[in-house]
Structure formats: C-alpha cells, structure tokens
Amino acid sequence: MTTTPMTPQPAPAPTAAARFALRGDLLDFGDEPAWGDVASPAVRYRPDHWLLVDGGRITGVQPDAPDASWERHDHRGRLVMPGFIDTHVHMPQLDNIASYGTELLDWLNNYTFPAETRFADPERSRAGAELFADALLANGTTSAVVFATAHKVSADAMFEAARTRGMRLVTGKVLQDRHSPDGLRDDVMQAERDCTDLIRRWHGRDRLAYAVTVRFAPTSTPEQLAMAGALCRSDASLYMQTHVAENRDEVRWVRTLFPDARSYLGVYADAGLLHARSVLAHGIWLDDEDRAALHASGAQIAHSPSSNLFLGSGLFDWTAMNAAGARVSLASDVGGGTSLSMIRTMAEAYKVQALRGERLTAWVALHAATRGAAEALQLDAEIGSFEAGCTADVCVWDWAAEPVAQRRMEVAQGLHERVFAFITLADDRNLVAAYVAGTPRHVRDVRDSRDPSP
C-alpha cells in the first residue's frame, strides 16, 4: 500500500465545476460494521479510484479515469471520505469552549449561560454563526445538528450561514422558560410563536430542517415540554433535539422536578418528544428500559466523548446501546466538547470505551460519523456515503500531516491499523479540501509546500 502522496495537484479553487472526477483512496460504508470486527465487510475501501460528481451529486465510482469531458481533481495517495456529520454541537459555545474547573450544572451557570446571553444581539448571532459554519467546514464536517440559543435571531443566523454555504443543517431556537438567567428565558406563548415562524421560513428550504430544541428537562416547565411535543406531533418531518442523562447531579435534579416520570428519558417520552427524529445528547446514565424505549422509538443518542471526559460526566455504555438495538451517532458537543474535529472526537470515543474495557474499531467510529448518523437522521439518501444519487459532500484528507504520523503510516500493517492510526493522530491539519454539494467550500492554502504543482 502506498504511503507517500504522489505529487498531487493543488486543491481546486473554490468554484463549482458542474462535472468533475475526484481521484483518491475512497473510503465509505455499504452497511453497519459489527462491534469489534476490524475486518468488517461493511467497509468499502477503493484505493486509487475516481469519484464522479455531476451537478452536485455523486454519480458513480470507478477504477479508471473518466473521459476528457470530466474535469479531473487528482488527489492520488490521499484519503477521500464522505463529509462528517456532527449530530450535537452548540453554535454559540465557541465563546466558552475550554472553560476551566466545573461539572455540567456549574459549567452552564458560570460560562455557558453568560456566553449565550450575548446572542440576543443580531450582529453577535450573525458573526457567531459565520465563524461556526466556517469552523465546521475547516474540520471536514459538512452536516450538523446544531443548538442555537433561546433567541430567535440566533436560529435565523445559523440557518442563513448554512444556506449560503449550501450545507445540510438542522437547528432550532432553544426552549428554556425556567432555571435560566434573565436574557435567556422565554415563555410558552412567545416560544411557540417563534418556533412556528422559524419553521415556516426555514424548515425544508434548501438543505435546512428545523429541530424543536429543548435545552434539557430542568430548564423547561411541563407546559413548555407539552408545547414542544405538540409541535412535533403537528409535523412528523420536524426533528427534536435535547440533552438526556449526562451528569449524575442533573439526573437527581430531574427526579425531583418530575417525580411522576419513570426516568429522565421518560420525561421526554411523556411529553411526546421521543420519536424517530429525536436526537438526544449523551445518554450516559440510562437503564435498560430507557434503551429499549430508544430502540422502539427510533431515536438516537448523540455520543459526545470529548465533552463527557472534559466535564467528568461519565463513560457512555455503547455496547449496551448496541445490545438494545438503539442508534448511536457521534458528536463534538462543543463547547462542553473540546474540539469541533470529528476525528479528535473519534479518538476520544476510543478512549472512553477503553476505560470501560471495550475496544472501539475505526470502522464503528467512522460509520457513526458518516453513514450511521445519516441513517439515524433519515438522511442516508442524501449524505453519509458515496452511493450514487447522494449529494457530493466529500472531504479529501492527507493520510499524515507531520513526520510522526508519516512514519506510523509507513509501518502500519493492513487497512484497519492504518485508518485507526489516522483517526488517532489526524486533525484539521490533514484536511485538504471540503466539498459541499460538489462545491469546494474549504480549501487548504494552495501555497502549502506539500502541494507542489505537477
């Protein structure tokens, strides 16, 4: 297996060619890889192949160069994968990423709520959403499920930033009408009006979708949760996003606030918020009955390993989720999480499982950030793989970005060892180009000395 990039061409300028072919080592999934199987038949690795893109969509993969009517982007010796899908991340929390010394509830009060309060200002929302969207793309994340803030303008700004970049993005205004500071609390009536208006203007427009966004059970009254449930029932194409069972103090608090609920997850189920388009972050402190309810509903847990380690929240039991048949996707959860990079997130997920005595393969990790997430979001006809007909959200990566990783690649035995070393050592420096719907939206500096023109 070749390990040295063979004088690839410079990355293309950010303009869209209607019809082009991208050459590289193509890696995606045809199916779900089994836990622990390093030789999984679900992996589709097609080294030195051509990915054909026409009109923003993938039209095929072939070993031979296409005819001269196709513009050719030669990335031979580089890794080409579907753009990553981050299923849980907070746009306004770039302002409080890497904040010291707290667990969840103090972290919210000390750092997060003050940061989010600033997004009442439309200009702060606009600038924050632009920075955030560009940062996602610079990390090879082309789709995301995103928390805005309680302010309607923050959701408007996030939708607009995604729309101008052509991204598949799900977001919504945060619902929180109690246990929150002045400047972040809404109320049931106003929140319902805001949601209805945002849904009317953004849901289903271009590649955008609305998520009914409950911060978490403690910050919504039962009346607001009921309103959120009614919104979900009014349109089955809406997503729902929230947090569940992240931290033990949080779980105890929910038990006192909702004494009649069977469990924390049960609060959401009782309100009509647990369904096939529900994305629940964390899910660390669940029981078997909760996991069975997740399976029955089709809802997914957005596993957020760097956040769970950083805030000391706990170790996610991925194998119990698998045993229950419940869906798991991967998420950065910035700003509780410490990096927008889904590759860094995968490396942290491996460590969480290692602390449980389990081994997360590169295949399960990559699948959860691509095809697995797309399936859980019911978007697999559009994103997450190189299936013909999918939108061309594609990222090109250097296998190695510096001499230590280069040496590791040279001695790696077999595909899994090589890809596992990649997800353990790589980050945004490895990203050469991120295409969104066939348009290069992030391109590494073409003056890079490792990109010599042929």
The first and second tokens of residue 9, run together, are 């061409």
86 is a contact residue toward Zn ion (CB under 5 A): no
CB 171 within 8 A of CB 136: no
Q: Which residue, 285 or 420, has its beta carbon nearer to Zn ion? A: 285
Q: Which residue, 261 or 281, has its beta carbon nearer to Zn ion? A: 281
Nearby residues of 263 by Cβ (< 8 Å), 6 or more positions away: 286, 287, 289, 290
Residues 217-256 that bind Zn ion (CB under 5 A): none
> Least distance to Zn ion from the beta carbon of 377, Å?
17
- Residue 207 sits at the vertex; the CA angle it makes with 160 and 177, to the nearest 5 degrees, is 60
Beta bridge partners of 169: 144, 208
The first and second tokens of residue 208, run together, are 């955008």
> Least distance to Zn ion from the beta carbon of 283, Å?
12
> Least distance to Zn ion from the beta carbon of 305, Å?
13
> Least distance to Zn ion from the beta carbon of 358, Å?
23
Q: Which residue, 5 or 92, has its beta carbon nearer to Zn ion? A: 92
Beta bridge partners of 443: 433
Residue among 167, 168, 135, 79 nearest 339 (CA)? 135
Residue among 53, 40, 90, 59 nearest 396 (CA)? 53
Can you tell me the distance from the alpha carbon of 153 to that of 151, in angstroms, rounded to the nearest whole number?
5
Residue that the structure tokens 């890696």 belong to: 27
Beta bridge partners of 62: 50
> Least distance to Zn ion from the beta carbon of 241, Å?
9
Cβ neighbours around 1 below 10 Å, total: 12
Q: Which residue, 28 or 333, has its beta carbon nearer to Zn ion? A: 333
The first and second tokens of residue 23, run together, are 């050459």
Cβ neighbours around 141 below 10 Å, total: 29
Q: Which residue, 307 or 439, has its beta carbon nearer to Zn ion? A: 307
Q: Which residue, 376 or 431, has its beta carbon nearer to Zn ion? A: 376
Residue among 192, 189, 249, 186 nearest 219 (CA)? 186
CB 13 within 8 A of CB 440: yes
> Least distance to Zn ion from the beta carbon of 93, Å?
8
Q: Which residue, 148 or 431, has its beta carbon nearer to Zn ion? A: 148
CB 361 within 8 A of CB 416: yes
Q: Which residue, 334 or 415, has its beta carbon nearer to Zn ion? A: 334
> Least distance to Zn ion from the beta carbon of 373, Å?
16
CB 88 within 8 A of CB 337: no
> Least distance to Zn ion from the beta carbon of 195, Å?
19
Residues 255-284 that bind Zn ion (CB under 5 A): 281
> Least distance to Zn ion from the beta carbon of 403, Å?
36
Beta bridge partners of 25: 79
Residues 310-349 that bind Zn ion (CB under 5 A): 333
Q: Which residue, 308 or 370, has its beta carbon nearer to Zn ion? A: 308
Residue among 383, 283, 369, 266 nearest 324 (CA)? 283
Q: Which residue, 250 or 398, has its beta carbon nearer to Zn ion? A: 250
> Least distance to Zn ion from the beta carbon of 243, Å?
5
- Comparing every residue's Cβ against Zn ion, the nearest one is 333
Task: Give me the residues that bind Zn ion (CB under 5 A), please.
Answer: 281, 333
